[in-house]
C-alpha cells in the first residue's frame, strides 16, 4: 500500500484545498421565452435553439378533480 514519504505542511494542504470551490453555472436568458438556461443548449422550457424550434416542449396538463 502506498504511504507518503513526508508530511504535507499546513500551508501546502491549505493551498491545495483553496481550489475546491463551487462554481456557479453560466446561465443566459432564452431569446424566445426569457427563461435562464445554459448557453449552447436547447431551452428546456420552449425547445428553441438559435431562434429555431428543435424540440417540441412537453406540456404538463393540469390534473382534473374527479367528483
Q: Which residues contact 47 (CB under 8 A, 6 or more apart)?
A: 53, 54, 55, 56, 57
Is residue 15 in a domain? no
Is residue 5 in a domain? no
Mean pLDDT value of segment 41-51: 86
Residue 59 has pLDDT above 80, yes or no: no
Q: What is the pLDDT of residue 13?
A: 93
Residue 34 has pLDDT above 70, yes or no: yes
Q: What is the pLDDT of residue 67?
A: 63
Give 51 or 13, the one with higher predicted confidence. 13
Range of the domain at 52: 25-57
Give 14 or 52, the one with higher predicted confidence. 14
Residue 15 has pLDDT above 80, yes or no: yes
Is residue 7 in a domain? no
Total domains present in the chain: 1
d(CA 41, CA 32): 14
Amino acid at each position: 500500500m502506498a504511504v507518503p514519504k513526508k508530511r504535507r505542511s499546513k500551508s501546502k494542504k491549505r493551498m491545495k484545498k483553496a481550489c475546491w470551490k463551487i462554481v456557479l453555472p453560466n446561465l443566459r436568458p432564452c431569446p424566445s421565452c426569457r427563461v435562464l438556461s445554459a448557453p449552447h443548449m436547447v431551452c428546456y422550457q420552449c425547445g428553441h435553439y438559435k431562434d429555431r424550434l428543435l424540440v417540441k416542449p412537453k406540456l404538463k396538463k393540469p390534473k382534473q378533480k374527479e367528483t
